[in-house]
Amino acid sequence: MYDPDRMLRRADAATYLQARHGLPCAMQTLARKAVEGTGPLYHLSGRFPLYRVADLDAWAAQQLSAPRRSTSDRAAA
Q: Is residue 38 part of a domain?
A: yes
Considering the domain boundaries, does residue 46 fall inside one? yes
**Residue 41 belongs to some domain of the structure:** yes
The answer to the question of residue 73 being in a domain is no
Q: Is residue 72 part of a domain?
A: no
Q: Is 23 within 8 Å of 63 (Cβ atoms)?
A: yes
Dihedral (Cα; 68, 70, 72, 74), 10-degree rounding:
-10
What range does the domain containing 25 cover?
7-63
Domain membership of residue 75 (yes or no) is no
pLDDT, residue 12, reads 97
How far apart, in whole angstroms, are the C-alpha atoms of residue 75 and residue 58? 21
Residue 29 belongs to a domain? yes
- pTM (2 decimals)? 0.85
Q: What is the distance of C-alpha 13 from the center of its chain?
A: 8
In a domain, 69, yes or no: no
Q: What is the per-residue pLDDT across 29-67, written as a single tens digit (0 to 9) for each?
A: 999 999 999 999 999 999 999 999 999 999 999 998 888
Report residue 71's pLDDT band, with 50, 70 and 90 as the boundaries: confident
Closest CA to 10 of 25, 23, 21: 25
Q: What is the count of structural domains for the chain?
A: 1
pLDDT of residue 65: 84
